[in-house]
Amino acid sequence: MATADVTVMGAGVFGLSVAYTCARKGAAVRVIDLHGVASGSSGGLVGALAPHVPENWNEKKAFQFESLIMAEAFWHDVAALSGVDVGYARSGRLQPLADARAVELAKARAGTAAELWQGKARWEVISSGDANWMPPSPTGLVAHDTLSALIHPRQATRGLADAVIALGGEVVGAGDMHGKIVWATGWPGIQEIGGKGVKGQAALLRFDAAGQPQLFADALHIIPHGDGTVAIGSTSEREFDDPFATDAALDDVLERATLAFPILHGAEVLERWAGVRPRSKSRAPVLGAHPTRDGEYIANGGFKIGFGMAPKVGEVMAALVLEGEDRIPQGFRA
């Protein structure tokens, strides 16, 4: 490609989603990342596409809801175009309810979800029963939602890169920047505008629960991928010495996970992972005009929710960059 209409700096899920959506609209796209596809936090293990609770509704929660509803078609098209199994499944989520107060709150959320989720997904309180793949619950009840989904982060990011290439774009380690320029450089990029990196550690276990809902217990995501593995994560470390080292903090995560879900006890640990996620000052994504690079754009700050937000991020950024149409929520602007 001699020149590009759009150059995206960064081959994580935000950058590639922007590039992919621009390419779908007919733009010539180049993605540049010195370290390669999914070299940052997009190369993690967990892949929980989990919604915020349906209460105290705001523009961030509404944006995420729209993105999660878009996700099935978005990732289906990526998989079809790239030939990569991205591991997407809208399989729902189960959360144990510890006491009467938690049950009362979960039932109230069932009512608000019926309104806010527009009949496209449910939040309900159900019996934990005696099924094997069910978190133990002191009350015998769990919250179940049908909006949560899961994805295989590395495969999904690789699929996006291959889809960009299939559409005539480039994904390269170095090259000239041409056309409209979008910065999606993760942790280093968010630090440039006053944000911070937050380290996360996660583990991958050999345990086949493919097709089952994800679990959320003791602030941990337990994700049953379709390839016979279960991902568990993660820590949130604001202070750290080595961004890529795993340590006793991950041992604690594994111990808590088996206490919350004893069926995982003794499962073989296949991989231990650590990386740094980009967190903006507001904790919301940062989209739109770049605050320090005149005439250029930014798509960053997908802290913990990057894969869930990615379809909608791609949509609004492509509209802005290619058509000048600004549909970015006010709270997402740099």
Neighbours of 83 (CB within 10 A): 10
- Asked whether residue 202 carries a pLDDT value surpassing 80, the answer given is yes
pLDDT at site 53: 93
- Compute the distance between CA of residue 49 and CA of residue 31 in angstroms, rounded to an integer: 25
Sequence-ordered list of residues with C-beta below 8 angstroms from that of 272, at least 6 positions apart, any chain: 201, 202, 203, 246, 250
Amino acid at 215: L
Q: Name the token pair of 183.
A: 């910065």
Mean pLDDT over the full length of the chain:
96
The share of the chain scoring above pLDDT 70, in percent, equals 99
Half-sphere exposure of 279 (CA within 13 A, CB side): 14
Which CATH number applies to 196-276? 3.30.9.10
pLDDT value, residue 132: 85
Task: Identify the pLDDT of residue 2.
Answer: 63
Task: Determine contact, residues 151/47, Cβ cutoff 8 Å.
Answer: yes
Residue listed under structure tokens 């979960």: 106
Radius of gyration of the chain (CA): 20
Mean pLDDT for 162-168 is 98
In this structure, the number of other CB atoms found within 10 A of the CB of residue 5 comes to 19
Confidence label for 301 from pLDDT (cuts 50, 70 and 90): very high
For residue 158, give the nearest of 175, 148, 171, 177 by alpha carbon: 171
Q: What is the percentage of the chain residues whose pLDDT exceeds 90?
A: 97
- In this predicted structure, the answer to whether residue 1 has a pLDDT above a threshold of 80 is no
Beta strands 141-145; 93-96: pairing state: antiparallel
83 HSE (CA, 13 A, CB side): 4
Is pLDDT above 90 for 129?
no
The contacts found for 131-137 with CB under 8 angstroms, 24 or more apart, are: 132/263, 133/209, 133/212, 133/213, 133/224, 133/263, 134/94, 135/94, 135/95, 135/96, 135/215, 135/217, 135/260, 135/261, 136/96, 136/260, 136/261, 136/262, 137/96, 137/97, 137/98
Measured between its terminal Cα atoms, the distance across the chain in Å is 31
> Looking at residue 29, what is its pLDDT?
98
Render pLDDT for 66-116 as a digit per residue (tens, 0 to 9): 999 999 999 999 999 999 999 999 999 999 999 999 999 999 999 999 999
CA 108 to chain centre: 26
d(CA 143, CA 160): 33
| Beta carbons within 10 angstroms of residue 101's beta carbon | 9
Position 101 scores a pLDDT of 97
Say yes or no to pLDDT of 130 above 90.
no
* Interatomic CA distance for residues 29 and 7, integer angstroms: 6
The Cα 262–Cα 247 span in angstroms is: 22
Sketch the domain layout of the chain as residue ranges.
93-146, 196-276
Quote the pTM value: 0.96
Distance (Å, rounded) from C-alpha 303 to C-alpha 198? 8
Q: 14 with 313: CB under 8 angstroms?
A: yes
Distances (CA, A) of 124 to 33, 141, 297: 43, 10, 40
Mean per-residue pLDDT, 193-204: 97
